[in-house]
Amino acid sequence: MEKIKSLADLKKMQETLRAKIDLREKSNNPDSRIQVKVAMATCGIASGAKEVMEVFIDEFTKRNIDAVVTQTGCMGYCYAEPTVEITKPGNEPITFGYVDVKKAIRIIDKYVLNNELVDGIIPVNYETIENK
Amino acid sequence: MAKIKYHMLVCGGTGCQASKSEEILKNFQDLINTKGLENEVQVIKTGCFGFCEKGPIVKMMPDNTFYTQVKPEDCAEILEEHIIKGRRVHRLLYQDPETGEYKSDSKHMGFYKKQIRIALRNCGFINPENIDEYIARDGYQALGKVLTELTPEGTIEILKKSGLRGRGGGGFPTGLKWEITRAVKADQKYVVCNADEGDPGAFMDRSVLEGDPHTVLEAMAINGYCTGADKGVIYIRAEYPLAVERLKIAMKQARESGLLGKDILGTGFNFDIEIRYGAGAFVCGEETALIHSMEGLRGEPTVKPPFPSESGFLGKPTNVNNVETYANIPAIILKGADWYASIGTEKSKGTKVFALAGKINNVGLIEVPMGITLREIIFEIGGGIKNDRKFKAVQTGGPSGGMLTEKDLDTPIDYDNLIAAGSMMGSGGMIVMDEDDCMVAMAKFYLEFTVEESCGKCSPCRIGNKRLFEMLEKVTQGHAVMEDLDKLRNLSHVIKDTSLCGLGQTSPNPVLSSMANFYHEYLEHVGDKKCRAGSCKSLMQYIIIPENCIGCTLCARNCPVDAISGERKQVHLIDQEKCIKCGACMEKCKFNAIFIK
């Protein structure tokens, strides 16, 4: 192990190390961050949800966007897989269908960064127990 | 390359390890390797989560799912369902005992809702055996800040302003203690960490050392800088093998990174730490006894003054602080005195870690702001009394403290209020008692502990406590007379007034406080020869009701000492001389023919 020679070194080291526990830090307080849920049931995975999830993680890290990416089970829109649900703090969740790698990047460019909608949004057509 | 998508935090505290968390860790790692998920899932062994009642705990990140009471054989299901299919394993989630609702996020559980974690900030979050994770969480930044931006006086000023008081029990202002040690001139000074946690039921110091050892090392170095010491000693009981092991790993890593040793962070400040083991004697939690034990002498206290700050370890000025006190310090330096002082009550600032034990639903470790009420701790965080029994009392401060009752439930907890209520903060053990606990027997239990732990140096403690214990035994056996109660009280005061150290000065507290709050129970034991809790066996009699007994012989066959006689289809009889009051007969009887008198 290399010796840390100054406070500046320690701070630099912390910057690099922080990435390792970033996932834990973020999930400690999910409500204040952008949450991305990728549907990863059999149907989702078969249509490429794994690659889509990786794109989201990679892009967020690359662009330094504060977001949590998690996987969920089947959302029921098997015809529109891969589907991704995005919740921005203070907004209603929006579900995007037919998300491939290209579209994932478009969603980040348009919706995540600029609040512009992208085609392929699946309208909410269900009620949950919570809002009954 | 695939990105890590999941962190699985598995509790590696002593409690969860006892319930096979090591095996759980290994199973997860094996399964992940066979499924080729090494690059997607990371398994991390952490310190204690606090919710020991429901251990072993496995926490999934980033979705914050909190699995409780996980068994090694559950690992495959968690991996298959949660990681691969993205579905929570319902049966392992925490179920709210009141609503029956399953809760996946620990933040919504009653146990965690009211907690503020400062001393335990990293426990159950980082891997204690990896210095990188501590550094990522601002580790050693407080030390860096102190060494480069602050003077020793300036640092002490921050501590004084923060209002931090000693968490070992005494509640002495930490900043003031450091200032006194700093003011003494000497060629060599020492900084000591008191990790000789001895109260029955208290385990916060162990959990901090097991879950976040670096925070103690960092704070000790800060202490060294402020008081002018370049050597630190951790006095820890050998009964804490896991804490010792993690401390050793932490010290090795800190040395290798140059955060302990010579010229720390290029500032010219030298500081190193060594470990001394204690044999687990309660009296060695007392500063002077602790220092004697560290020197290789008998762990006996001496009269203060001189205080350790003038003449301590090897006759040099020594600053002794407790583990939990240290754990607060890096956070105070980084976040500021005002932040810390904004939490708590007027005279007791910040948070306190309590260990909940006894007849309470959620046994575990909690950190709450000072000023919280007992009611909140016992009924909201602790989930109330086990088996819906009625709350009777809670013992705070261990064997040196006292019992608090129903009337104290709404008192805001801080150092001064607890003393006013006839108890003390102590190190933070809380043993909850219900209506089935006899208060005389409880006082006897604590006294038995002090008799065992008295070092024997001064006679009030050595002989007086033994006599107190014998008198209490007389009371619980029903042989006591009224005068004994007066004697009990008088002797208690004598021991308090004349003992040499804190152990003897506080040992009669459980007797005095149970007499103050439950005198009627003492009277019943002496006058009516009755124990209302049904726990003093000498005062109980198992009696067979002739009308209900059909002579089935079941009780007689189950009696381990053959105390029951009677022919088939004849009423049976219990020989009270032979009876050991085990209750086996009453448990077996199908006709409710046996009762306790």
Report chain B's C-alpha Rg in angstroms.
Answer: 27
SS3 B277: strand
In this prediction, residues B156-170 reach a mean pLDDT of: 93
At B176, the amino acid letter reads: L
Count CB-CB contacts under 10 A for residue B262. 12
Which residue in A has a C-alpha nearest to residue B39's C-alpha? A54
Residues 243-272 of chain B whose Cβ lies under 8 A from any Cβ of chain A: 253, 256-259, 265-266
Taking the C-alpha atoms of residue B359 and residue B540, their distance in angstroms, rounded to an integer, is 22
Q: Using alpha carbons, list the distances in angstroms from residue B316 to B84, B216, B287, B319.
A: 60, 22, 14, 10
* Residue appearing with tokens 């100054």: A6
Find chain B residues with C-beta within 8 A of A23's C-beta. 4-7, 61-62
Q: How many Cα atoms sit within 13 Å of B91 on the Cβ side?
A: 6
| pLDDT of A129 | 65
Is residue B2 pLDDT above 70, yes or no?
no
A21 and B137 in contact by Cβ < 8 A? yes
A7 and B125 in contact by Cβ < 8 A? no
Query: A3, A57, A61: which to substitute to probe chain B, counting the most B Cβ within 10 Å?
Result: A3
Which residue in B has a C-alpha nearest to residue A22's C-alpha? B136
Confidence of residue B304 (pLDDT cuts 50, 70, 90): confident
Find chain A residues with C-beta within 8 A of B136's C-beta. 14, 17-18, 20-21
Confidence of residue B348 (pLDDT cuts 50, 70, 90): very high
User: Is the omega angle on the peptide bond into residue A82 within 30 degrees of 0, that is, cis?
Assistant: yes
Is residue A131 pLDDT above 70, yes or no?
no
Of A18, A23, A41, the CB nearest to B7: A23
Query: A2, A9, A10: which to substitute to probe chain B, counting the most B Cβ within 10 Å?
Result: A10
Give residue ranges of A with CB < 8 Å to any B CB.
1-7, 9-11, 13-14, 17-18, 20-21, 23-24, 26-28, 30, 39-41, 53-54, 57-58, 61, 68-73
Q: Using alpha carbons, list the distances in angstroms from residue B558 to B312, B366, B548, B576, B580.
A: 61, 44, 18, 16, 13
Taking the C-alpha atoms of residue B429 and residue B246, their distance in angstroms, rounded to an integer, is 23
Contact in structure between B231 and B272 (CB atoms under 8 Å):
yes
Taking the C-alpha atoms of residue B305 and residue B292, their distance in angstroms, rounded to an integer, is 15
In this prediction, residues B40-53 reach a mean pLDDT of: 90
User: CB-based contact (8 Å) between B528 and chain A?
Assistant: no
Going by C-alpha positions, the residue among B113, B102, B184, B208 that lies closest to residue B428 is B208
How many DSSP H helices and E strands does chain A contain?
A: 5, 5
Taking the C-alpha atoms of residue B90 and residue B159, their distance in angstroms, rounded to an integer, is 46
Is residue B432 pLDDT above 80, yes or no?
yes
Contact in structure between B28 and B40 (CB atoms under 8 Å):
no
A30 and B62 in contact by Cβ < 8 A? yes
Of A27, A39, A53, the CB nearest to B63: A27
Is residue A79 pLDDT above 50, yes or no?
yes
A27 and B148 in contact by Cβ < 8 A? no
Confidence of residue B169 (pLDDT cuts 50, 70, 90): confident
| pLDDT of B489 | 95
Which range, of B49-53, B83-87, B172-176, B298-302, averages the lowest pLDDT? Answer: B83-87
Q: Which two tokens stand for residue B218?
A: 């960092």
| pLDDT of B165 | 95
CA dihedral B353, B357, B361, B362 (to 10 degrees): 30
In this prediction, residues B164-175 reach a mean pLDDT of: 91
Going by C-alpha positions, the residue among A29, A108, A73, A68 that lies closest to residue B88 is A73
SS3 B527: helix
Of B85, B87, B133, the CB nearest to A21: B133
Which residue in A has a C-alpha nearest to residue B3's C-alpha? A54
Could you tell me which CATH number the domain at A29-131 has? 3.40.30.10
A7 and B265 in contact by Cβ < 8 A? yes
Which range, of A123-132, B18-27, B424-433, B516-525, averages the lowest pLDDT? Answer: A123-132
pLDDT digits (tens, 9 = 90+) for B76-94: 999 988 888 778 888 999 9
Contact in structure between B33 and B40 (CB atoms under 8 Å):
no
Contact in structure between B181 and B227 (CB atoms under 8 Å):
yes
Q: Which residues of B557-578 are buried (b: 16+ CB within 10 A; e: fewer)?
A: eebeeebbebeeeeebebeeee
Distance from CA of A32 to the nearest CA of B (A): 14
Residues 93-132 of chain B whose Cβ lies under 8 A from any Cβ of chain A: 125-126, 132
B386 Rama class: left (phi>0) / alpha (psi -120 to 50) / beta: beta
Is residue A132 pLDDT above 70, yes or no?
no
pLDDT digits (tens, 9 = 90+) for A86-111: 988 878 888 888 898 899 998 988 88
Of B2, B256, B266, the CB nearest to A5: B266
Find chain A residues with C-beta within 8 A of B85's C-beta. 40-41, 73
Q: Tell me the pLDDT of chain B averaged across its residues.
A: 92
Distance from CA of A115 to the nearest CA of B (A): 24
Is residue B100 pLDDT above 70, yes or no?
yes
Is residue B217 pLDDT above 90, yes or no?
yes
Confidence of residue A130 (pLDDT cuts 50, 70, 90): low
Q: Considering the entire predicted model, what is its pTM?
A: 0.86
| pLDDT of B1 | 40
Taking the C-alpha atoms of residue B87 and residue B287, their distance in angstroms, rounded to an integer, is 53
In this prediction, residues B448-457 reach a mean pLDDT of: 92
Distance from CA of B138 to the nearest CA of A (A): 7
Q: Which domains does chain B have, with CATH numbers?
A: 6-112 (3.40.30.10), 131-341 (3.40.50.11540), 351-434 (3.10.20.600), 439-528 (1.20.1440.230), 541-596 (3.30.70.20)
A21 and B135 in contact by Cβ < 8 A? no
Which residue in A has a C-alpha nearest to residue B65's C-alpha? A27
Find chain B residues with C-beta within 8 A of A4's C-beta. 140, 257-259, 265
Contact in structure between B41 and B5 (CB atoms under 8 Å):
yes
Confidence of residue B510 (pLDDT cuts 50, 70, 90): very high
In this prediction, residues B185-210 reach a mean pLDDT of: 93
Query: B58, B147, B265: which to substitute to probe chain A, counting the most A Cβ within 10 Å?
Result: B265
Contact in structure between B382 and B427 (CB atoms under 8 Å):
no
| pLDDT of A114 | 86
